[in-house]
Amino acid sequence: MSKQNHVFQNIARAVGDHGVDTMFGLMGDANLFMVDSFVRDCGGRFVPAAHEGSSVLMALAYTHVSGKVGIATVTHGPALTNCITALTEGARGHIPMVLLAGDTPVSNPRHLQSTDQREVVKAAGAGFEQLRAPETVAMDVARAFYRAQVERRPIVLNMPADFMWEEAAHTPSVLSVFSTPGGVAQGDILDQAIGMIAAARRPLILAGAGAVTARAQLIRLADRLEAPLATTLKAKGLFKDHPYNIDMFGTLSTPAAYELIAQSDCIVCFGTGLHDFTTDKGKLMKDKRIVQVDITPTAIGGGLHPDAALVADAGLTAETVLYWLDEAEIPSSGFTRDLDIASLTDHPKGADKTAEGCINYIHALERLEEALPQDRILVTDGGRFMTEAWVRISVPDPASFVPTTNFGSIGIGLQEAIGAGVAAPDRPVVLFSGDGGFMMGGINEFNTAIRLGLDLIVIVANDSAYGAEHIQFLDRKMDPSLTEFHWPSFASVATSLGGQGFEVRSSDDLEVALKALETRDKPLLIELHLDPMDVPRMRI
């Protein structure tokens, strides 16, 4: 007869069967014994967050940086409803992760913390999986992991509390996920696409998050065509150091790169949904041929429909196009021969109108780009400060860049920075946050980073205002005072929580803070005091 275990032990073992060694979360009535078993019986690591939603955000960033399925756990009732923004962020970003959510006892429908978890999860765009019975634990966990990877979104596994002390045997179950590249482009539309590319005199290759594994193939195709390379925001850093990389495409381009894109006659797009920020609401796609390649059918035709739509793998399609160009002996376009890449990637600095007692944001970013560790993982919170950080702070590759922008939320950056740091403990994590975002979701988790001993550098862009709203009042010549705040000293708060904080009101202050980076041994926060009238406008 098979050994009988408690259900909470079998859940922990089932998670371990999937190679999970790290779990983020917050313990409560319905999940505490499972967490304990994961640590004591399975040798796992539990990373406790200060807020339930934080644990989901940490797991999302862990997925992005490590390439593994991130795992989080919370208890029932308000614990799950506190995760809605985080689950929506993950669902909109197509990030696979599993949330083990305890639920109130099935036998007590009038429990104070009872809620319809399925409907709550559906509203966030995440998937719902039910732990059906003590005997089905391994298969139910396996289904959650499988769906997370195949559907590329968070899956919430509901775990009723009254199952936990029941007994059942544990038989490991892991469902295989088909991961071999598929969707080889073929047929008349492929012929049309190759014809458009072959006829182009000014072609350009654009890569999005869906093409980050096809770097080598896209570079070979671009070199063959003599076409410039560009990326969307989420693929930032993909073509780093390539001689014809014009960096980001769209509203985040330099003025010179924007003009070059406008002059191109064919954009070959791999793994990008071509949303409004990428295309500047369609302006950059006018009067040119558009070829769009994506393995996900729903990614094609959202904002505009391309001239040739290929539901296919990015790398295999690039190789196929290259093969037929060579077979037909199509000459290269020559588009890159006279390009001055330095001028195409140099973002204007603008005039310095900073008030006394504040530092110019662009100047600070330029110095931070030079002084921050080069092997950094860059995480950005939401806010009007973020676009300048995106274009002026570089990253080694797309996996080292975590923009928390999928749902337009602020206050979720520090949580994801912690997840990134746990995923890559040997690398420094740099977070850019606004003052409002840090006050909303950063302070309560900064101490978590300290408890974990993470190598974390936080840059708080503090204009003492909700900047995006501040601008709207000014644009209509209205009083913006309702958007202004007198925050505490974030540098002092960081120090009081066990970190190291620096206030920066001048270039000299900034140099002192940057010098401290060299000897940091705990999470460090640099508070940039900015003039709300002098912060550059968002580029989206």
| Contacting residues for 508 by C-beta, under 8 A, at least 6 apart | none
Residues 40, 143, single domain; the answer is yes
Instruction: Kindly give the confidence (pLDDT) of every residue in the chain, 540 residues in length, as a single tens digit, with 9 standing for 90 and above.
Output: 468 999 999 999 999 999 999 999 999 999 999 999 999 999 999 999 999 999 999 999 999 999 999 999 999 999 999 999 999 999 999 999 999 999 998 888 888 888 999 999 999 999 999 999 999 999 999 999 999 999 999 999 999 999 999 999 999 999 988 766 667 777 899 999 999 999 999 999 999 999 999 999 999 999 999 999 999 999 999 999 999 999 999 999 999 999 999 999 999 999 999 988 899 999 999 999 999 999 988 888 877 889 999 999 999 999 999 999 999 999 999 999 988 888 899 998 877 778 889 999 999 999 999 999 999 999 999 988 999 999 999 999 999 999 999 999 999 999 999 999 999 999 999 999 999 999 998 898 999 999 999 999 999 999 988 877 888 888 898 988 888 888 899 999 999 999 999 999 999 999 999 999 999 999 999 999 998 887 777 777
- pLDDT tens, 85-104? 999 999 999 999 999 999 99
Residue 539 covered by a domain: no
| Contacting residues for 475 by C-beta, under 8 A, at least 6 apart | none
Sign of CA dihedral 514, 516, 521, 525: negative
Please tell me the pTM assigned to this model. 0.94
The enclosing domain of 445 has a CATH number of: 3.40.50.970
* SS3 of residue 499 by DSSP: coil
Residue 535 covered by a domain: no
Distance of CA 234 to the CA centre of its chain: 7
Residue 534 covered by a domain: no
Residue 174 covered by a domain: no
Residues 226, 316, single domain; the answer is yes
Residues 213, 322, single domain; the answer is yes
Sign of CA dihedral 124, 130, 131, 136: negative
> What strands, in cross-sheet order, belong to the sheet with 289-294?
245-248, 229-231, 203-207, 266-270, 289-294, 308-311
Residue 182 covered by a domain: no
- pLDDT tens, 294-341? 998 888 887 788 999 999 999 999 999 999 999 999 999 999 998 888
Residue 257: domain span: 188-344
Instruction: Give the ranges where 438-499 is alpha helix by DSSP (H).
Output: 443-452, 467-475, 490-496
Residue 178 covered by a domain: no
Residues 148, 238, single domain; the answer is no
Domain boundary among 311, 344, 377: 344
Residues 338, 372, single domain; the answer is no
Residue 180 covered by a domain: no
Residues 270, 128, single domain; the answer is no
Residues 442, 339, single domain; the answer is no
* SS3 of residue 46 by DSSP: strand
| Contacting residues for 14 by C-beta, under 8 A, at least 6 apart | 137, 138, 141, 142, 170, 172, 173
The enclosing domain of 252 has a CATH number of: 3.40.50.1220
| Contacting residues for 362 by C-beta, under 8 A, at least 6 apart | 349, 350, 352, 388, 392, 536
